[in-house]
Amino acid sequence: MKKAVLLFTLLAACLHLAAQVIPYQELSRPEQKPGTDLKIYFETPHDLIVVRDGFISHQSKIYHESTPGGYNAQPVQYSAQTVLEGIPLNGNQLLALKDQIKNTGLLALNGNAFGAPGHQNGEDHIIRVEVDGQKRNLIYRRNASFPNAPGPFNQVSEYLWWLVTEVEQ
């Protein structure tokens, strides 16, 4: 019995010493997930992609004819099908998107409207972006008779589509 008490006392002393020898150290933590300050709104006539607070959402628009059995170039209503709703992006995806916006020169584009003028027919493609305190609202009206969208506009929109495809899988 004395041996058991002695062994228990020795074990308790070792555990107590071990706890004192290896102090717990708190590692620094980032204040927020990288890239959560990034906000993007990208709308085309058929889709809407939103990146906000580290999450991505995608809606697909389906236009309905205004008159049954007839054709109208300007449909009066559409329904939206949610493809993605609030899917979290990882830090690498958010940082890569942020880099894509900065490195393509999207924020440095001259002007806010591209393609066909407002009085011409065309499909509006809109990018609203907010990153690192900078905001830009850009619109490209697609019409075959007018210039294509600027390179940075195309590159960012293509990257957004790639990101949506990656997340949807």
The domains of the chain, with CATH numbers, are 39-168 (3.30.1560)
Query: pLDDT digits over 46-57, tens only?
Result: 899 999 999 999
pLDDT of residue 11: 65
Instruction: Specify which residues 142 forms β-bridges with.
Output: 123
159 pLDDT above the threshold of 90: yes
Question: Residue 150 CA to chain centroid, in angstroms?
Answer: 21
pLDDT of residue 70: 55
Q: Which two tokens stand for residue 78?
A: 């559409």
Instruction: Specify which residues 81 forms β-bridges with.
Output: 60
> Distance (Å, rounded) from C-alpha 129 to C-alpha 97?
11
- pLDDT bin (cut points 50, 70, 90) of residue 151 is very high
pLDDT of residue 86: 86
> Distance (Å, rounded) from C-alpha 89 to C-alpha 83?
15
- Mean pLDDT (the chain) is 81
78 pLDDT above the threshold of 90: no
Query: pLDDT digits over 100-109, tens only?
Result: 999 999 999 9
pLDDT of residue 1: 66
3-state SS, residue 92: helix
pLDDT of residue 40: 95
> Distance (Å, rounded) from C-alpha 40 to C-alpha 163?
13
23 pLDDT above the threshold of 60: no
Is pTM beyond 0.85 here? no
> Distance (Å, rounded) from C-alpha 164 to C-alpha 149?
21
